[in-house]
Structure 1
Amino acid sequence: MNSKFNINAYSHIRNDKISLNGDIVFEDETKDFSAFIKSAYKSQGMDYPKFFKMDNLSKLTFIAADLILQSISNSEENIAIILSNKASSLDTDRKYQESISDSNNYFPSPSVFVYTLPNICIGEICIKHQLFSENSFFIFDNFNPHHLWIQTEHLLKTKKANKVLCGWVDFDDSSYDAFLYLVEEHGDLNHTIKDIKQLYLCQ
């Protein structure tokens, strides 16, 4: 399907590596995600203390998005967000269930409960970057570029957004995979389903 819009930037986080537009910006072979993502945060010189209170899905999404949004001028821009995954907030849901089942706790953990919806990670991005546009989070069995393409094209063609940050952010137990990309009028890559698939698989 043809589009008059383009992909301006993209990021990946998987296999102990973080990349922006195909270039690796951080690499750490530690197998522990918590240690990996904290090191990545520090390596990028980020200053957002709330990061350390986030659940793993939000940390993953936050860094993948921040790399892109920091690389562009987004002042006064109407940037929508469309994300997806297959595990929803399952990793955090398990931890919340454990806090309920713990006989030593009288009350379940509210700090964990707040992250028992996958779209909370979108809220963290919006707070940091002061974004007020449309946003959605979808659950699929696998990465679904066709659906993301349709949603993005609609938002841009109807002028409900000037740019759309979209992609796949999945975290389950120790398995993680993030691929985000920014679509707008300008950019070096075509916004087609074929190109989205190729970018997703390229790292």
Structure 2
Amino acid sequence: MATNKYISSTCTIAKNVVSKNGVTLFENPGADITAFLLSVYQHFHFNYPKFYKMDNLSKLGWLTAEILLKDDFERFNYEPEEIGVVLTNSNSSLDNDLKYFDTISDIPSPSVFVYTLPNIVIGEICIRNNFKGEHAFFIQEKFDAAFIGQQVNYLLDNNILQACICGWADVLGQDYKATLFLVEKKKNGQALLFSPENMNGIFNTI
């Protein structure tokens, strides 16, 4: 049965700015993507050594998810199997695929090869948070809020999930953007209705 769902929290990382729930939390103008992602990790005092081994797409998605959930997500209300992830982007893992291709002429790098799938970022988020619910990664030309809403509504309306992280995470060279939404069935505080209009409004802010 279809019921209202709510956006409990949002986080966007783009253009050297980190924003959560519409508030800018961190900026590092002028830094390239590698330096910027590292500066975000250090600014929020995260302690997760595996971060340093990730490709840029995984770093971007992982950081956005960490900030999204930080202080706002009451995970003890859910079983690990009740929390899932639905992500989209337009470039798949091409940023890392090109880096791997560059290693083939010499010695192919297993540490680079392991990130030549876009859904690895979902794995990094789930391993970090012990999420064991349904997950999916879709490749699309542009951010499609209606499509994401359709996927997430199906999972929550059919009780496959009780909460879902969804949105966009994309990297190609120095061009990057991630916008993630925490969607739950219950309304907490000033949570917004989970709708394509509200998702588009948030995504287009930065």
Give the TM-score, by structure 1 length. Answer: 0.94
1:3–1:190 Cα contact (<8 Å) kept: no
Q: Secondary structure at 2:62's aligned position in 1? A: helix
Q: Secondary structure at 2:143's aligned position in 1? A: coil
Which of 182, 185, 196 is equivalent to 2:199?
196
The letter for the 1-side match of 2:91 is A
Q: Secondary structure at 2:75's aligned position in 1? A: coil
What displacement does 1:185 show? 1.6
Q: Is 2:116 aligned against 1:87?
A: no
1:3–1:192 Cα contact (<8 Å) kept: no
Q: Is 2:58 aligned against 1:55?
A: no
Identical amino acids, percent of aligned pairs: 39
Partner of residue 135, structure 2:
135
Can you give the 5+ residue segments of structure 1 that lack an aligned partner in the other structure?
none
Q: Secondary structure at 2:137's aligned position in 1? A: strand
Partner of residue 122, structure 1:
122
Deviations 1:110-132 (A, max 9, x none): 00000000000000011100010
What displacement does 1:44 show? 0.6
2:183–2:194 Cα contact (<8 Å) kept: yes
Partner of residue 166, structure 2:
166
Can you give the 5+ residue segments of structure 2 that lack an aligned partner in the other structure?
none
> In 1, distance between residues paired with 2:3 and 2:148?
13
> In 1, distance between residues paired with 2:197 and 2:24?
23
Deviations 1:82-111 (A, max 9, x none): 000000000100011010023xx3xx1000
Partner of residue 41, structure 1:
41
> In 1, distance between residues paired with 2:144 and 2:4?
21
> In 1, distance between residues paired with 2:142 and 2:124?
24
Give the TM-score, by structure 2 length. Answer: 0.93
- Give the 4+ runs in structure 1 shifted more than 2 A: none
1:68–1:182 Cα contact (<8 Å) kept: yes
Q: Is 2:74 aligned against 1:73?
A: yes
What displacement does 1:31 show? 3.1
1:82–1:148 Cα contact (<8 Å) kept: yes
Identify the range of structure 1 (139-148 vs 26-35) with the bigger mean alpha-carbon deviation.
26-35
> In 1, distance between residues paired with 2:111 and 2:199?
35
What displacement does 1:3 show? 5.1
Identify the range of structure 1 (180-189 vs 46-55) with the bigger mean alpha-carbon deviation.
180-189
> In 1, distance between residues paired with 2:201 and 2:138?
21
